[in-house]
Amino acid sequence: HPPKPVSNSKQQLHLLHMDLCGPMRVASINGKRYVLVIVDEYSRYTWVYFLKTKDEMLEVIKNFLKKISVRLKAPVIIVRTNNETEFKSHALKEYFDSVGITHETSATKTPQQIGVVERRNCMLVEAARTMLIFSHAPLFLQAEAIATACYTKNHS
């Protein structure tokens, strides 16, 4: 087996992985169909944000980056995403440039390059699905189940 890549992150927020999942088949109780997943490379701490449309993503990212840098008293240095159109907007590029964040994107059709967040997506969705099945809960509670899975993973 090839050696596992060594993380370059020496501190929290040095490198954040982001991915947008969706649309979900069934909207959440609040009408949300997309999930923005953010994973810190150093700590593997994960945040999830639920969106009605992809258009909300820019404001959610901007607000998240402002708040998290203040709360943890550390700057975000690099944001790594896939090469999908939602992460290639001019407005997002301008924002990253204005705050000094380097935006790295994976090569097209290579999810393994953002494996950290892709694996977390799978774990969150599978855990949520398991919760819904075993509790006989309706699918419109999927966002709540994903949030619960995220909370549980962060605190275990």
Q: What is the pLDDT of residues 5-50, one digit of tens each?
A: 445 668 999 999 999 999 999 999 999 999 999 999 999 999 999 9
Segment 71-94 shows an average pLDDT of 94
pLDDT band with cut points at 50, 70 and 90 for residue 84: confident
CA angle 90, 27, 65 (to 5 degrees): 40
pLDDT band with cut points at 50, 70 and 90 for residue 61: very high
Closest CA to 36 of 155, 130, 117: 117
Rounded to whole angstroms, the Cα distance separating 22 from 10 reads: 32
CA torsion 69-77-50-63 (nearest 10°) is 40
Q: What is the pLDDT of residues 102-155, one digit of tens each?
A: 999 987 767 666 789 989 999 999 999 999 999 999 999 999 999 999 999 999
> Could you give all domains of the chain from N- to C-terminal order, each with its CATH number?
15-154 (3.30.420.10)
Lowest mean pLDDT of 2-6, 54-58, 117-121, name the range.
Answer: 2-6
